[in-house]
Amino acid sequence: MSNIRKIGVLTSGGDSPGMNAAIRAVVRAGIASGSEVVGIRHGYKGIIYGWMKQLKSKDVRNIIHRGGTILKTARCEEFRTSEGREKAYEQLVLNQIDALVVIGGDGSFTGAGIFSKEFDIPCIGIPGTIDNDIYGTDFTIGFDTALNTVVEAIDRIKDTASSHDRMFFVEVMGRGAGFLALQSGIATGAEAILIPEEQGQEEKLRAYLEEGNKRKKASNIILVAEGNNIGGAQEIAKRMADEFKDYNIRVNVLGHMQRGGSPSAFDRFLASRLGTASVEALMDNQRSVMVGWQNHDVVLMPFNKTIKGTRNINKKLLEVADILNT
């Protein structure tokens, strides 16, 4: 039997829709297991400074549909230092917290893994990021909602692009991964998709624009992941406008709107399932693992694997995008 009597839960790094649903699941699953649950505000900084409050079932009522995170989130440079983690451990001891559930990305899991190893604190990770780039899980909390947000925005942009015969370069989030750009590009029929994982995209884009010019195709959507290797949407659009003067080019950067909004049904379900599974893992004496989702079921992935591993783009999707863009 587990000797965990009090669980701390926090959200760390960038926010994503569904984090509140995950918090709700951790709180109620923890209470159902006979443990107290403490909400830690502002991520790891909240551990260091003791920004904690016990959460009852009623405290997480009516939050499953809310975007963002009621616990707030932040990145904490102090926690990266041994002195900062020592302060955090002292606060956990002071507040009699036996284990942590960390909702965030691989950076958050890196910190949790180091902390767990240094101070023997059981830590479980729940993947929450709109980038969907965490190794060991098919989906991360927030990706589905962000995908639908991007698709809705591009559908609207396409209407005005068609009306004015304009080409739009639309930039979406994805500094190191193109999952959001690739899937939303396929879903919206974008004419070109630029992602960090692919090389030689500028030449490919030029070839497409040259061919489109011959066919007098004026209305286009070029989807740009912010971390692609040839520049941001503004920069690429300027270069293409200088070379292809027949096109009426505009730029739209979707920005942080992709992180906000009420979570989709799938993100609510996923967050609820993984939040419950995180408490089950703690009660089963698991530590330094992420609860992930593979083949429609929960899996446990050690932190060292999910941090070191790389989730690769499905090459078949690139082929599909090329076929459908012809």
Encoded tokens for 92? 């956990």
Nearest to 220 by CA among 169, 282, 149, 151: 169
Q: What would the two tokens of residue 4 be?
A: 């965990």
Entry field: residues in the chain: 326
Model confidence at 75, in pLDDT bands (50, 70, 90)? confident
d(CA 299, CA 126): 11
pLDDT band for 21, please (50, 70, 90 cuts): very high
The single-letter DSSP state of residue 77 is: S
Average pLDDT of span 277-304: 97
Percent of the chain with pLDDT over 70: 97
DSSP SS3 for 321: helix
Confidence of residue 166 (pLDDT cuts 50, 70, 90): confident
Strands across the sheet containing 249-253: 192-194, 220-225, 167-172, 249-253
- Number of Cβ within 10 Å of residue 213's Cβ equals 14
Average pLDDT score over the chain: 93
Please tell me the distance from the alpha carbon of residue 64 to that of residue 275, in angstroms, as a whole number: 12
Q: Residue 246's pLDDT is what?
A: 83
The CATH number of the domain covering residues in 6-142+263-308: 3.40.50.450
Burial pattern 96-108, b for ≥16 Cβ within 10 A else e, equals ebbbbbbbbbbeb
Spell out the SS3 assignment of 163-214: HHCCEEEEEECCCCCCHHHHHHHHHHCCCEEECCCCCCHHHHHHHHHHHHHH
Q: What is the pLDDT of residue 19?
A: 98
Interior/surface letters 140-178, b for 16+ CB within 10 angstroms, e for the rest: bbbbbbbbbbbbebbeebbeebeeeebbbbbbbbbeebb
Cα–Cα distance, 18 to 21 (Å, whole number):
5
Give 78's contacts (C-beta < 8 A, 6+ positions apart): 44, 45, 48, 84, 87
Between CA 297 and CA 109 the distance in angstroms is: 21
Mean pLDDT calculated for residue range 41-64:
97
Q: Rounded to whole angstroms, how far apart are CA atoms 67 and 239?
A: 37
Residue 215's φ and ψ, nearest 5 degrees, are: -90, 5
Query: What digits encode the pLDDT tens for the residues 118-144?
Result: 999 999 999 999 999 999 999 999 999
Q: Is the pLDDT of residue 107 over 80?
A: yes
Residue extent(s) of CATH 3.40.50.450 domains in the chain? 6-142+263-308
Q: Which regions of the chain carry the CATH code 3.40.50.460?
A: 144-259
Q: Does domain 144-259 have CATH number 3.40.50.1820?
A: no
| Residue 132 Cα distances to 35, 83, 176, 310, 322, angstroms | 31, 32, 11, 11, 22
Question: Could you read off the pLDDT of 247-262 as tens digits, one per residue?
Answer: 889 999 999 999 999 9
Is residue 131 annotated as a catalytic residue, yes or no? yes
Q: What pLDDT shows up at residue 1? A: 54
Q: How far is Cα 206 from Cα 100, in angstroms, rounded to an integer?
A: 50
Q: Which of 15, 106, 131, 267 is catalytic?
A: 131
Let me know: does 44 contact 88? Beta carbons within 8 Å: yes
Residue 53 pLDDT > 80, yes or no? Answer: yes
Residue at token pair 């899991």: 109
DSSP class of residue 264? P
